[in-house]
């Protein structure tokens, strides 16, 4: 990339988490956060957690006993309001959740209004099944996704 959208991002410390052994039905918010926290930012050698793009507070999971589905609402906040890679970040989140979360779930990804210039457009695109499927058929785009979802080794 020739120029960075955010050449000097604020980097936050990773949080060491202690998980409880108590299991409730369905997918838990901590399961989702554990999956997405290590996604690498497309511009920087830091995880989305370290750049505060994703946080535990941005994940909400509601289990529907009637359907057996976990309804996951996930907010992410790009580091700058003009981030040109917000849709790629959303796609990385969706791909990694689809690959690693176990169980039946519906995933709704959103960029909160006021955190990005085109928040509603990004939100719509990362939740559009046809656009996501088309993106997953694009080898160049999926190569970037694969780089981001690969585990970060310290």
> How confident is the model at residue 1, as a pLDDT?
44
Q: Does position 8 have pLDDT exceeding 50, yes or no?
A: yes
What does the alpha-carbon distance between residue 25 and residue 2 come to, in Å, rounded to a whole number? 47
> How confident is the model at residue 17, as a pLDDT?
57
Considering only residues 9 and 63, tell me which one the structure prediction assigns the higher pLDDT. 63
pLDDT in tens, 79-131: 999 999 999 999 999 999 999 998 899 999 999 999 999 999 999 999 999 99
Considering only residues 37 and 152, tell me which one the structure prediction assigns the higher pLDDT. 37
Q: pLDDT band at residue 77, thresholds of 50, 70 and 90?
A: very high
String of DSSP letters for 47-59: BTTTTTSS-GGGE
> How confident is the model at residue 80, as a pLDDT?
94
- Percent of the chain at pLDDT > 70 equals 88
> How confident is the model at residue 29, as a pLDDT?
95
Q: Which of 101, 75, 103, 100 is nearest to 89 (CA)?
A: 75
pTM of the model: 0.85
> How confident is the model at residue 26, as a pLDDT?
81
Q: Does position 7 have pLDDT exceeding 80, yes or no?
A: no
- Order across the sheet with 105-110: list the strands: 59-64, 69-75, 105-110
């Amino acid at each position: 990339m020739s120029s960075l959208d955010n050449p000097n991002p604020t980097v936050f410390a990773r949080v060491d988490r202690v998980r409880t052994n108590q299991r409730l039905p369905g997918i838990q918010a901590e399961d989702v956060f554990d999956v997405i926290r290590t996604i690498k930012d497309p511009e920087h050698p830091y995880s989305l957690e370290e750049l505060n793009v994703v946080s535990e507070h941005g994940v909400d999971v509601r289990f529907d006993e009637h359907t057996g589905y976990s309804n996951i609402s996930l907010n992410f906040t790009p580091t700058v309001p003009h981030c040109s890679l917000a849709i790629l970040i959303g796609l990385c989140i969706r791909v990694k959740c689809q690959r690693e979360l176990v169980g039946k779930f519906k995933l709704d990804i959103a960029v909160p209004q006021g955190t990005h210039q085109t928040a509603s457009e990004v939100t719509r695109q990362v939740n559009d099944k046809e656009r996501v499927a088309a993106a997953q058929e694009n080898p160049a785009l999926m190569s970037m996704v694969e780089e981001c979802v690969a585990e970060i080794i310290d």
